Amino acid sequence: MKNSWQKHYPFKNNFLNTDNGRLHYLDEGEGHPIIMIHGNPTWSFFYRNVVKDLQKNYRCIVPDHIGCGLSDKPQDFEYTLENHVNNVLKLIKELKLDKFSLIVHDWGGAIGMGVATTMPDKVMSMTIMNTAAFKSQDIPFTIGLCKLPIIGAPMVRAFNAFAWPATFMAVEKKLSKEVKQGYLFPYNNYHNRIATAQFVKDIPLKPDHRSWNKLDSIENSLKEVTCPKLFIWGAKDFCFNMGFLNRWKDFFPNEKYVVYEDAGHYVLEDEKDNCIREIGSFFNEYSSTY
């Protein structure tokens, strides 16, 4: 019998072999490719409703980062920003994608901009939701706790102190039981929570951090990404607050910004219909140029 959440995720599973295990991804629909990049502690399930809508007219490609979703969860992989970027670049090469668009959220912002700054001429548009791709010292107390030496990783891995709280802290509208099950399914034991802990560890706050230089390089190259951009933001996000959105405006002052005042971090859950409408209209506006 299928898990009840699976009816919300009626997609075919695809896998790419990497040096560090199998990377799972969705590949639904035909047409201009749209790569959707998730963050922590979500997975491709986060984009399920967007895929259902856009697959009518576009090719929707949604990877699960190594350690996340239905991808393999190696215990010895170096879970760094650079390695996550390289895995998406490998998928793009494997699928022989020439021109494509990006939709990014949370850690997907830094990873997606890592891709975009590597090949800005191939990125036709970007939709950017509650994320950052630049250095910041603004980190919520609760996430700071999960970064603490000695106790941080055990909190996340043994007690699920990241994916589980996110099912109610990241939304303003209560998730259904089935949708909660979907978000938590891949992170059901200590072994499988390796990436949720490592993503927190990989937040660079000091110049000696392993991912500081990579994020700095991405930030310094942001203005090379000149494609049209749509920003969608949940104003009640406890993590990527409005200060982050204002910082984006410093880089890209002339793009379209849509703010939902009563939405949280999982803006696609709190404002599902509005988000899908905005994203669809954005792609339709530029479809003739793809």
Calculate what percentage of the chain has a pLDDT beyond 70: 93
- CA 289: distance to chain centroid? 25
pLDDT at 24: 98
pLDDT exceeds 50 at position 161 = yes
> pTM of the prediction?
0.96
Q: Which residue range forms the structural domain that includes residue 87?
A: 4-289
Number of domains in the chain: 1
Q: What is the mean pLDDT of residues 70-83?
A: 98
CATH of residue 59: 3.40.50.1820
Mean pLDDT of all residues in 215-226: 98
Q: Is the pLDDT of residue 158 over 90?
A: no
pLDDT in tens, 102-120: 999 999 999 999 999 999 9
Dump pLDDT digits (tens) for 8-22. Answer: 999 999 999 999 999
- Mean pLDDT calculated for residue range 235-250: 96
Q: Quick one: pLDDT at residue 1?
A: 40
Is residue 277's pLDDT more than 60? yes
146, 152 contact by CB (below 8 A): yes
